[in-house]
Amino acid sequence: MSLTLRTQIGIVGAGPAGLMLAHLLRLEGIASAVIETRSRGHVETRVRAGVLEQATADLLVETGLGDRMRREALVHGGIELRFNGAGHRIDFQDLTGRSIVVYGQQEVVKDLIHARLESGCEIHFNVAAVSIHGFDSAQPRIRFHAGGQPREIACDFIAGCDGFHGICRPSIPAGALAFYERVYPFAWLGILAEAPPASGELIYANHERGFALMSMRTPAITRLYLQCRPDEDLDAWPDRRIWDELGTRFETAAGFRLAEGPIVQKGVTGMRSFVAEPMQSGRLFLAGDAAHIVPPTGAKGMNLAIADVHVLARAFRSFYRTGSEDRLRGYSAACLRRVWRAQHFSWWMTSMLHRVGGDSGFEYRRQLAELEQVTTSRAAATSLAENYTGLPFE
Ligand code: FAD
Ligand code: DHB
């Protein structure tokens, strides 16, 4: 006999999408249950994205999650594009009046978990054998094991917030969704280093040896990425080689130097563009990476996840207040407009900044011409700045 828990929204996954959805629903008085296969410690220390669009940061503040972010986050009014040994600033504030906020994804996740537990609600961590059922009926069910015991959540709707490798999207019958995908022939080797950022703002570098990005988490912690092969062996990258390669890719005629320090985390991230349409099947709604992936250039992934659940929470609110399913029916189309805008932007930034194998030199020269235009034409720079800082939430 499995123990059944009854709630309004059953949420699969405690990443930014699932946790933010639970938070927004709680503020609307809508009950939810959240299950997560990993431990609390694991999700709170997973190093991933680091840039919040202004609308994402504003939503955190408006929903009572802004205290620590306001104290610890870094507000940036622009970024640097670096090529041909020189840096060129894109001034977001001047071009759009908007900024970005540098605050690690795991900090957002920690704040969301803290807020939920403070409010007396649970998160079921370390669950196993998760499956979803009956979402084509009025009685969806989520089944899982907790502490070795079978459990069940009976709910009105299921939110599939379980990331790209989760079980929700594959549970939808074959043929019900269309998939659009592009896999890139390169990846990012990312490190977190105990070293002060060498510049006050992010630097995106296009170097003949490949792309590199300097970001940060705090005034004492730098986050750096360099383009590598998708099957890159981390063992072939001792710390010295990483610093030397980064030093080369960020070099300027003016003698720029990165500050070096102990590397405390290393990983390789593959790059993919992916969209599943529609983001709904019956009473199952997909949100965040479960529905779409962007290559990381331009930092859209987590922002899209938060934007999706903002739309979804409003649709649930409308349903529970009025009984109308109109907004739930419009969920997918409303999200996909923003998703495809971000898909285009992330693909464009990726194509402008990465080396491609087998290039005769044409691609590199085309990229330099594009970078030259983006950094000298106010119209072109404004387009980048608008996309990078993001659309306001509807
Ligand atoms: P996730 O954060 O993936 O959360 C999904 C959650 O569901 C996870 O906690 C997972 O453990 C859980 N889960 C999975 N299966 C199940 C199941 N069966 N049952 C219950 N729970 C389950 N974006 C950027 O903008 N910049 C970056 O630098 C960047 N780096 C990244 C590096 C990596 C390695 C990855 C994978 C992604 C990166 N991203 C980056 C993308 C960004 O982190 C994601 O877009 C963001 O995490 C999406 O949030 P989400 O909640 O939709 O999914
Ligand atoms: C970071 C990641 C990105 O993908 C990006 O475009 C900018 C910053 C980061 O991890 O800080």
Q: Tell me which of 100, 192, 213, 273 to substitute to probe ligand 2's pocket, judged by most ligand atoms within 8 Å of the beta carbon.
A: 213
The ligand whose atoms approach the alpha carbon of 169 most closely is: 1
- Asked whether the predicted pLDDT for residue 27 surpasses 70, the reply is yes
Taking residues 26-48, report their average pLDDT: 97
- 301 CB under 6 A from ligand 2? no
Ligand 2 geometric centre to CA of 224 (Å): 9
Q: Average pLDDT, whole number, for the chain?
A: 97
Catalytic member of 23, 207, 296, 354: 296
Q: What is the 3-state secondary structure (H, E, C) of 337-392?
A: HHHHHHHHHHHHHHHHHCCCCCCCCHHHHHHHHHHHHHHHCHHHHHHHHHHHHCCC
241/251 Cα distance (integer angstroms): 15
388 is catalytic: yes
204 is catalytic: yes
Predicted local distance difference test score (pLDDT) of residue 1: 64
Does the CA dihedral 159-162-163-167 come out positive or negative? negative
Tell me the pTM: 0.97
* Beta-carbon-side half-sphere exposure of residue 390 (alpha carbons within 13 Å): 25
Q: What is the pLDDT confidence band of residue 81, given thresholds at 50, 70 and 90?
A: very high
- Residue whose CA is closest, atom 3 of ligand 2? 299
Predicted local distance difference test score (pLDDT) of residue 392: 87
145 is catalytic: no
